[in-house]
Amino acid sequence: MKNTKKSRRLPAALLALVMTFGLLPAMTAPAYAAGSAEVFISYQDDVYIIPKQLVTVSPDLSDTYGYDDVITGVSALDALIAAHKIYFDTYVSSGAFSTWLEDALKVSGGYASKVFDKSASYFTFLVNGKAPVDGLDLLLLSEALVSDYGYVEFLIYQDNWLMDYYTWFEDENGRVDNITVEINNDKELFLKGDMPISNMWDPAYEFDGDTMYDLVYAEDLTIVILDPVTGDVVDELDIEVDDDDGGFTISFDAEGTYILSALGDKDEDAFIFSPWLEITVTSDTPAPTPTPTPEPTPAPPAGGVQIDWRDALENALCWLKNNTPEPKVSATGGEWAVLALARAGVETQTDPWALKYLAALDAELAKTGASALSEKTDRERAALAVTALGLNAANYKGTDLTAAFKDNPGSDGLLNGDIYALIALDSKGYDGDASLYTGRIIGSQNTDGSWSLSAAPSATSLVDITAMALQALAPHYGDPIVKIAADKAAAYLKTKTNLSVFSAAQVIVAFTALGEDPPADALDDLLRAYNISTGSFGVNNVMATEQAAYALVAYYRHENGLNTLYDMRDAGSPIGITVGSGPGGGAGSGPNVPPGGINATISIGSWVSGAKYNFLSGSVTVYDVFTEAVREFGLTQIGAENNYVKSINGLAEFAQGPNSGWIYKVNGVFPDVGLKDYVIKNNDVIVWSYASDYTMVPGFSGGGGGGAPQPAEKKDEAKPGETAQSGGGSGVFSDIKSGDWFYEAVKYVSENGLMNGTGNGFEPNTPLTRAMLITILARAGGVDTTGGETWYSDAAAWGVATGITDGLNLSGNITREQFVTMLFRFTGQMGLDTSARADIEGFADAGDISDWAKEAMEWAYATGLMTGRTASELTPGGPATRAEAATLLQRFMENIVK
């Protein structure tokens, strides 16, 4: 050991200071907003016992197990108990958690003397890399607030509170928590650190020496690779850390993702927090020289007719004008329609249709109370629409529409506000600090190059959000850091196929924003949703048509060498696009039947209502119409290809009795042949319904139909929590009476396959669990929930992937505010309008609504989905019963999905 080694002991005066503050009574902590938070947690002993991971922590977790904290919000004590739950689930095989926790955790007055079954006089915890303080007072576990996406690190190693060393990695640009490097290329890194005490009162007090080499001798450190799931050391690297600056060089000879960390010498008189650095190693193979992308072959709609994307663009613009005659300030029928028409060069600030939108905007700006422009992304959308019309959003009739977001990254844990703020600022070079947004967006990128809706890395990857983030970053592509993130995102998007119309639209805009041809599949996927008979996209869907229209405008601009969609320095200039007359002489005027063509209308259960399709071929069967609707609406089905439908959206034959199954009728008559054998005529109407007992259906002879449901050999076995119903397909269960307020709702959800019985009737007053709800929503979303290790596992996996649920506490009872929040997210996932809001402050318990649920509760109240439990109380934290769930679902399907 070298004699020049610097002392790693705290000076005596400083040690006395730490001990003194540790004994002082805590000052009153400030009050914070209530609500659960997603919190990063790690726990180290030898190394990571609990690796860094994101968990949802409720503010009452400590109270639940008999530990008091003094703040309103998630405390470090709540987070510590959450960490114990993770540890318990992994390592404790039997016994109730609360009993185990009593022995493993001792907390008195917010001060812990035993943690993870280990006793200590002191132990170290940090929040966001610093010792939490209030003025000159060190906060205890019960006093330290942890905000959404905050990071709480626990170290249970030695008996010296705050005398352990906090460490991190840096590169030439400063601290790094995740980086991307090329295979076999050297990367220089630096190991830095200090004691938490040194930055507690920064800048009022600075410890002399703020780097790792001042505090921990480099020869005592070992660079290691960790398992990202277990936190175990999987490899010790033969790397020498420089004593002078903590520097070292590393390279990797295989692609993948690695977690880099460092271990200190436990025989020395202080320990280190092992840092956590995620490194993504990519191939160094030079990218192939780009070759011109051939013009994508127009995609055929139903019936095999080729579509020219230019015709689709012109007809969609026509349909938008005809079907949004009064454009408003709204996410649907408002700014996006303005963007499409204005960037197509067919609407300017002086045109009558555009003037109607500007009048609606003026009316919103004139409001002195609640305004639609106070909602998230409203100002950004308005700024984009105004700019697209050739006006100045920074001084629109004396109002700076950019003021609300020019220097203010969102703080609600979601990324879409940051994305559209950056797009709006860059649209015409408006004043604002773009780096606030680029940094936040890049910092939220997932390791696979994608983004989720969360403003933090997440296991959930969403194509739409990834494409939107790429659109926002595109103008900053010259920045090397942005380029790395953008290239990863583009590579991720190129792997995605069979996109919805919404995802395809965003992918097209993203690649054209980079100046690149979009993937051919994306354009094909978009055009498959084109309704050749009306000129719209989807089934006369305003939102789908808006997004498809402005995506095709973006593609047109790219093809013709014009400014990108969001580069609006040329706003107001015609670019050669004309608005079509619409198929058959006018968009929105109804189906146009070409010679020999066939129109058909189809309804399927509660999922498809009156969808219209046009086929330009002479022989069309029920199978053709059915499979087209299944594809467009994202449903799942089993058996149609074999001329007999066994299941739709997870609702299978025999689920409601031995004679239950799917049947269909054409023009009110049940055919006696299978769906592949019935050739339809022009304007036929097809209706698919689920019969709980086909022998009781008037006019059904038992032939044809889905074909006819075959007798079941045995009834489906009951599954825990959500089972085959016991009361028959009529929805009348043994514990449901015709006079019950929820009778019609229970009947509706039963007949439409949304909710089943429990094996003991319907149990209307039993609380609904989170697993039950996500299974219900998965069925409504077209997911087959019949497989999986548990009755809800497939549904839960879908819910996590879509961002509807975090997948935690699935067996727990769901509260009313949790219910509507999941329903709100599901509505957005389906592409339906979620803009409605209503004032709920008049309810006596409005203050009890969690911050994360407020927007959803306002939406649910505005749409009539949820009313108060009483005239004066919403009871947001109360458990949602199965009867309430049935009522909400019926209202949702009839009023929102329609």
Residue range 259-292, pLDDT digits in tens: 899 887 665 555 678 888 888 888 755 444 444 4
Question: How many other C-beta atoms can be found within 10 angstroms of the C-beta atom of residue 210?
Answer: 15
Measured at the CA of 203, the angle between CA 200 and CA 208, to 5 degrees, comes to 75
The span from the CA of 746 to the CA of 254, in Å, is 57
Out of 194-198, 329-333, 543-547, give the one with best mean pLDDT.
543-547
Share of the chain above pLDDT 90, in %: 15
Closest by CA position to 86, among listed 42, 37, 128? 42
Out of 474-483, 519-528, 631-640, 777-786, give the one with best mean pLDDT.
474-483
More confident site: 72 or 482 = 482
For residues 410 and 417, is the Cβ–Cβ distance under 8 A?
yes
The span from the CA of 602 to the CA of 599, in Å, is 10
DSSP for 94-128, please give it. Answer: SS-HHHHHHHH-EEETTEEEEETTEE-S--EEEET
Taking 80 as the threshold, does the pLDDT of residue 247 lie above it? Answer: yes
The span from the CA of 135 to the CA of 587, in Å, is 66
Which token pair is 156? 């249970």
More confident site: 632 or 141 = 141
More confident site: 460 or 366 = 366
Which whole-number Å values give the CA distances from 838 to 328, 372, 599, 826, 843, in the listed order?
18, 11, 41, 19, 12
**Which has the minimum average pLDDT: 22-36, 395-409, 610-624?**
22-36
The span from the CA of 31 to the CA of 298, in Å, is 59
Mean pLDDT of 853-878: 80
Which token pair is 871? 């005239």
Question: How many other C-beta atoms can be found within 10 angstroms of the C-beta atom of residue 5?
Answer: 13
Taking 60 as the threshold, does the pLDDT of residue 649 lie above it? Answer: yes
More confident site: 353 or 173 = 353
Mean pLDDT of 754-760: 72
Mark 766-792 as b/e (b = at least 16 C-beta within 10 Å). bbbbbbbbbbbbbbbbbbbbbeeeebb
Looking at residue 1, its pLDDT comes to 23
Taking 90 as the threshold, does the pLDDT of residue 629 lie above it? Answer: no
Share of the chain above pLDDT 70, in %: 75
Return the H-helix or E-strand segment holding 666.
Answer: strand 661-666
Taking 50 as the threshold, does the pLDDT of residue 707 lie above it? Answer: no
For residues 261 and 224, is the Cβ–Cβ distance under 8 A?
yes
Looking at residue 540, its pLDDT comes to 57
Mean pLDDT of 750-761: 72
**What is the three-class DSSP state of 193?**
strand
Taking 70 as the threshold, does the pLDDT of residue 519 lie above it? Answer: yes
The span from the CA of 746 to the CA of 731, in Å, is 6
Taking 90 as the threshold, does the pLDDT of residue 610 lie above it? Answer: no
Which token pair is 72? 């309103």
Taking 50 as the threshold, does the pLDDT of residue 129 lie above it? Answer: yes
Residue range 559-600, pLDDT digits in tens: 999 999 999 999 988 888 877 656 643 333 333 333 446 778
Classify residue 846 by its DSSP letter. Answer: G
Taking 60 as the threshold, does the pLDDT of residue 45 lie above it? Answer: yes
Question: How many other C-beta atoms can be found within 10 angstroms of the C-beta atom of residue 369?
Answer: 6
Looking at residue 422, its pLDDT comes to 93
More confident site: 519 or 376 = 519
Mean pLDDT of 100-116: 84
Mean pLDDT of 677-688: 84
Mean pLDDT of 455-476: 84
Of the CA atoms within 13 Å of residue 123, those in its CB half-sphere come to 24
Looking at residue 517, its pLDDT comes to 94
**Which has the minimum average pLDDT: 28-32, 763-767, 789-793?**
28-32
Looking at residue 596, its pLDDT comes to 40
The span from the CA of 764 to the CA of 345, in Å, is 56
The span from the CA of 648 to the CA of 635, in Å, is 7
CB contact set of 486 (below 8 Å; sequence gap of 6+): 470, 473, 474, 477, 514
Taking 90 as the threshold, does the pLDDT of residue 512 lie above it? Answer: yes
**What is the three-class DSSP state of 796?**
helix
pTM of this prediction?
0.42
Mean pLDDT of 180-195: 85
Which token pair is 390? 């050739």
Q: How many residues does the chain have?
A: 898
More confident site: 388 or 373 = 388
Mean pLDDT of 654-669: 78
Mean pLDDT of the chain: 76
Mean pLDDT of 145-169: 73
Rg (CA), the chain: 30
